[in-house]
Structure 1
Amino acid sequence: MIQKTYKAYLFDFDYTLADSSRGIVMCFRNVLAMHGHDGISDEAIKRTIGKTLEESFTILTGISDKETLAGYRKEYVAQADKLMTANTVLFPETIDVLSGLKERGAKIGIISTKYRYRIMELLGKKLPEGFLDIIVGGEDVKTPKPSPEGLLFAINHLGLDKNDVLYCGDSTVDAETALNAGVDFTGVLHGMTTREELEAYPHTGIMRSLDELL
């Protein structure tokens, strides 16, 4: 249970609020197959969730050529436009927790490497219009997480002090982002990252479920 009450709760998206692993694996598989990359497990793909597409493709294929990676990213986005939203589900407690925090008067936002329009495509069907106070997606920043750029932008946009903000995520990338931004971090064990991996970073708690925020 998280002891402190914050004025704003900012969240990662994939594996924090939603399980999009099925859609992500499908998109990666299709692009990898187009270029003859085989023998890559679903587990290996899932371990890259939270990183940029270029970083993920480098980890999975060993390719570092920027032009090639840019091409893979473009192909992935085209696949995701068709497959992602239909293959993404919110975790069972997500809506209740976000609503509960909102009822307390807290501001709610999302900071993700996922594109903002993709997040809005899914959440627009699940949340009332204007429910979220801010969404910062991959297209909104020059430097992706673990750069604190997106998180600091959201805090400034909301007119808050860093001490009044909690960032919640499932990965070491999220923990590092919070550390770099100088804000409190709480981990959630929805994804592929272990408790021990998250505990290596400063944290106010490691939760099994988002319910513990309430």
Structure 2
Amino acid sequence: MKACIFDLDGTLTNTLESMTYSVNLTLKEMGLSQITKDQCRMFVGNGARVLIEESLKVSGDPKASRIEEGMKIYGRIFDQNCIYHVTLYEGIPEMLKALKDRGIHLAVLSNKPDRQTVKVVKEIFGDNIFDYAQGQKDGIRRKPEPDGVWYLMEQMQVSKEECLYIGDSEVDAATGKNAGLKTIGVLWGFRDRKTLETAGADHLIERPEELLQFV
């Protein structure tokens, strides 16, 4: 194995608090009711637009008719607060170091907007861990489409057989499958075992260090 591509939210970092906080500041500015952390957990994974759309529907705008306004406000607020209370899951730094020590290329692919993805990765991990960090940007379809995975593989010059995809949601399981990669589902993130099994992840792991057996 020569490379690993990781999802970000719920896989490397616990960003639930930062996203719930930013969504609720957005809803407050729009005069709508707040969402809970559990609701936010279920709404994340498909990008910012789906997150805001689903949040609007449960907060007093059932048809999400104010989605454009919501996206504009959320974009501004989340850019200021994307590091708010973001923490690393236990064992992640050690696992990443072990992979680096083995000469494995590391990349992040998130459905979070590209600017904030790069910002979070740089802030939390510094410049020396990941070869590439990429979020949602124009011209590359968001996960579960395989475009982002293939683009990163091209940058790292690795084949499908030489690369693992690692994530915590049904979107990630589908992404890895669509890209033709062996896909590892992590059980410490935003979804449960049943969801990941149903979605077709090749393997499930309970602790970060378990990933090392696949490389």
1:153 partnered with 2:148: no
Equivalence for 1:138: 136
Stretch deviating more after TM superposition (124-133 or 172-181)? 124-133
Cα distance in 1, alignment partners of residues 39 and 124 from structure 2: 30
Structure 1: 4+ residue segments shifted above 4 A: none
Alpha-carbon shift at residue 64 of structure 1 (Å): 4.8
Amino acid at match of 1:208: E
Q: Secondary structure at the match of 1:112?
A: strand
Match among 72, 76, 79 for residue 78 of structure 1: 76
Cα distance in 2, alignment partners of residues 207 and 16 from structure 1: 11
Stretch deviating more after TM superposition (85-94 or 101-110)? 85-94
Match among 101, 104, 113 for residue 103 of structure 1: 101
Cα distance in 1, alignment partners of residues 41 and 100 from structure 2: 31
Cα distance in 2, alignment partners of residues 102 and 197 from structure 1: 30
Cα distance in 2, alignment partners of residues 157 and 55 from structure 1: 28
Cα distance in 1, alignment partners of residues 91 and 202 from structure 2: 20
Alpha carbons 1:63, 1:69 under 8 Å: kept: no
Cα distance in 2, alignment partners of residues 148 and 128 from structure 1: 27
Cα distance in 1, alignment partners of residues 68 and 92 from structure 2: 33
Equivalence for 2:63: 63
Count residues in correspondence: 207
Point out where structure 2 has 5 or more consecutive residues left out of the alignment: none
Stretch deviating more after TM superposition (183-192 or 11-20)? 183-192
Equivalence for 1:14: 9
Equivalence for 2:43: 48
Alpha-carbon shift at residue 87 of structure 1 (Å): 1.8
Stretch deviating more after TM superposition (167-176 or 52-61)? 52-61
Amino acid at match of 2:210: E
Q: Root-mean-square deviation (CA), in Å?
A: 1.9
Cα distance in 2, alignment partners of residues 111 and 38 from structure 1: 31
Alpha-carbon shift at residue 183 of structure 1 (Å): 0.8
Cα distance in 1, alignment partners of residues 155 and 121 from structure 2: 21
Stretch deviating more after TM superposition (190-199 or 81-90)? 81-90
TM-score scaled to structure 1, two decimals? 0.88
